[in-house]
Amino acid sequence: MRILVTTPFLAVPPRGACENDRMVGIQQLTRLGHDVRVFSFLAAHQTPTFEREATTYLGRPVQCVDYHPLRPTSVRAVWRRLVAAGHHPALLDGAALPHAQLEVIEAFDTALSR
């Protein structure tokens, strides 16, 4: 089975319980014979070579997209987001907002088409 693991943050090597849990889950799926790929966001402190380092560490393809937090710049921007969330209720979850960015959607499509 082909599985795309989407994670908000990937630490290589894992530094804490959350990161370790993600790594063990990915390794377990791989050990069970699944074709596992990983999609993650690059945090501000991570270098552009992180994608290659993570791929080497995991032994599975890792694709990263720069994380750009969505910050409201005005009352109008906040209002537009609320209206958009009314049309797409999934956007009410603040964690879902970065996934609505065009760059992320295109990267998702690329990861899924591989």
- For residue 34, what are its two tokens? 């699944």
Helix (H) or strand (E) holding 35: strand 35-42
Tell me the C-alpha distance between 63 and 30, whole Å: 17
For the chain, the domains span: 2-67
Residues of the chain with pLDDT under 50: none
pLDDT for residue 30: 93
What is the predicted pLDDT for the residue at 88?
66
Question: Can you point out the beta strands (E) in 52-108?
Answer: 62-66
Looking at every residue in the chain, the average pLDDT score rounds to 80
The pLDDT of residue 104 = 76
Res 90: pLDDT: 61
